[in-house]
Structure 1
Amino acid sequence: MTNNIAEALKSAYNAIQEFQTKQQLKQQSRLIAVSKTKPAESVAAAYQAGQRAFGENYVQELVSKATELQGLEAIEWHFIGPIQSNKTKDIAFYADWVHSIERLKIAERLSAQRPSDKAPLQVLLQVNISGEESKSGINPADLMSLATQVAALPQLKLKGLMAIPQPGKGAEAFEQMQKLSLQLIQKHPEATELSMGMSDDWQQALCFGSTMIRLGTAIFGARGIPSHD
């Protein structure tokens, strides 16, 4: 398992580097290894291979893995799933980044519950860029207002945007996200992160300025059944 994960990581990083070079892309892009439904042992194997940033969709898994692997120096936990109000305390304690803020109420709870001895929580606002009823995220028209409110909260640091486009609509959605990101940066110069692109569309996302690519299956293999939390 360890060798397979190490090889998969190396292959992913090489593919990203080759694509960026070929397309002459200048932005720095990070790989977030999405470890949802995978055991802590798989995360540890990726860590030993040099990976530091890991994405979790389920609060129960975030708590379990962050607790078990707390001895790993500089490991970085990114919460990327939908957020329920009754789960914000655990996210505020265990996460380093949150990609999926879509409501002020959630942001306020995360800010209030972030321990004062921890660095501010790095946060991204999730945009429902394709307008899907089944998807989380704020309407693009309401984004700048929410950004101003979130940026003013203590213990949070607004770092940028996240989106999960409708399948098959990637290019159009990524282009819109890039425009929104540039608008956001004009008002919030530190909010430069753009989390978009997964296993089937990361190349397209990179072409439109993605700074964080979320890869799961490509690193850890097919997923098991999600845990309930």
Structure 2
Amino acid sequence: MTIEQNLNKVNQLLQDAIEEANRTVNSVTLLAVSKAQKINNIGEAYAAGQKAFGESYVQEAVDKIQALREYDIEWHFIGPIQSNKTRDIAQHFDWVQSVDRLKIARRLNEQRPEELAPLNICVQVDLFAESSKQGATTEELKSLLDYVCDAPRLNLKGIMAIPPKQQDTAQQLKQFEQISQLFLDYQHQYPSLTTLSMGMSQDMTAAIAAGSTMVRVGTGIFGPRPANWKQQI
């Protein structure tokens, strides 16, 4: 299948999940995860109507952003953030979904160019205390949200989470509902929180049923990454 066909299939699955959850049409945004994908593949997805793309590796992403600067693409950084990479992220991206600690938030705020709009931020939370996952703890979350909300060069937009992988749909739903409740609790304190970024190819339906407003899909759109893709980054 072509990238356009894959994208159409994913969008249909997305709309089916929205309908099944009795939610408003187009209430969930599809973020195409384009890490390790060639520039022409991103161009194909863009030509098929996809406008938001997510990247996890800074230098690879910057090269793509520069090559595709004539395209009206909304670029999201979704990977772990090293302190020495914040300047490039602040200068080139529209959104950052993986802000998990104050140090990173401060650097992004200080390094966001004045001529650009404030950087849209999702705070990443690790609600399940997974040692292998990035994310602020529930104890750290309030102070991080406070800082991002008040920072002049940042725009607090939402919460992002990557819960532990579950094969069972009921377990997926249970985890997503916990994240969604946390989001709703904080939404009362921070009205700008409108984005709940959770769910990927394998658990998208459960995430949408629980209230996700943005799902992140890579393989379903672009196909499997090359076996040695990490060596190419």
TM-score with structure 1 length normalisation? 0.95
Does the residue aligned with 1:86 lie in a helix, a strand or coil? helix
SS at match of 1:201: helix
Please state whether the residue corresponding to 2:230 is helix, strand or coil. coil
Q: Which residue of structure 2 aligns with residue 130 of structure 1? A: 128
Number of the residue aligned with 2:80: 82
1:141 is displaced (CA, Å) by 2.5
Q: Does 1:178 align with 2:177?
A: no
Aligned partner (choices 197, 212, 217) of residue 199 of structure 2: 197
Deviates more, 1:61-70 or 1:169-178: 169-178
Residue correspondence of structure 1 range 59-74 to structure 2 within 5 A:
59-72=58-71, 74=72
**Residue range with higher mean Cα deviation, 132-141 or 168-177:** 168-177
Letter in 2 for 1:32: L
Tell me the CA shift for residue 142 of structure 1.
2.1
1:141 and 1:171, CA in 2 relative to 1: closer, same or farther beyond 3 A?
Answer: farther
Say if 1:36 and 1:226, in contact at 8 Å, map to a contact too: no
Q: Which residue of 2 aligns with 1:105?
A: 103
The alignment-based identity, stated in percent, is 46
**Are the equivalent residues in 1 in contact too, given 2:96–2:119 (CA < 8 A)?**
yes
Question: Residue 32 of structure 1 contacts residue 215 of structure 1 at CA under 8 Å; is this kept in 2?
Answer: yes
Structure 1 counterpart of 2:213: 211
2: distance between equivalents of 1:131 and 1:182?
A: 20
- Post-superposition CA distance 1:101-144 (Å, at most 9, x none): 01111011111111111111000000112211111001113212
What is the match of residue 93 of structure 1?
91
Q: Is the 8 A contact 1:181 1:192 kept in 2?
A: no
Cα offset for 1:174? 0.9
Map 1:121-160 → 2, pairs under 5 A: 121-160=119-158
Report the AA paired with residue 35 of structure 1. Answer: S
2:201 alignment partner, SS class: coil
Report if aligned partners of 2:124, 2:159 keep a CA contact under 8 Å in 1: yes
Q: Is the 8 A contact 2:55 2:78 kept in 1?
A: yes
Secondary structure of the corresponding residue to residue 122 of structure 1: strand
Letter in 2 for 1:207: A
Q: What is the CA distance between 1:197 and its match in structure 2?
A: 0.2
Shift of 1:62: 1.1
Per-residue deviation, 1:160:
0.8
Could you tell me how far apart the structure 1 residues matched to 2:206 and 2:231 are?
Answer: 31
* Residue pair 2:173, 2:209 contacting (<8 A) in 1 also: no
Counterpart CA distance in 2 for 1:23 and 1:183 is: 21
- Per-residue deviation, 1:9: 0.7
Partner of 1:220: 222
Distance 2:194 2:78 in 1: 17
Match of 1:12 in 2: 10
SS, match of residue 122 in structure 2: strand
Distance 1:185 1:22 in 2: 25
Aligned residue pairs, count: 226
Normalising by structure 2, we get a TM-score of 0.93
Within 2, Cα distance between the matches of 1:61 and 1:31? 21
> Is 1:19–1:203's contact at 8 Å kept on the other side of the alignment?
yes
Letter in 2 for 1:173: Q
Instruction: Write the distance in 1 (CA, Å) between the matches of 2:190 and 2:133.
Output: 26
SS at match of 1:6: helix
CA distance in 1, matches of 2:73, 2:231: 22
Q: What CA distance in whole angstroms lies between the structure 2 residues aligned with 1:119 and 1:4? A: 35
CA shift, 1:170, in A, is 2.6
Q: CA RMSD in A?
A: 1.4
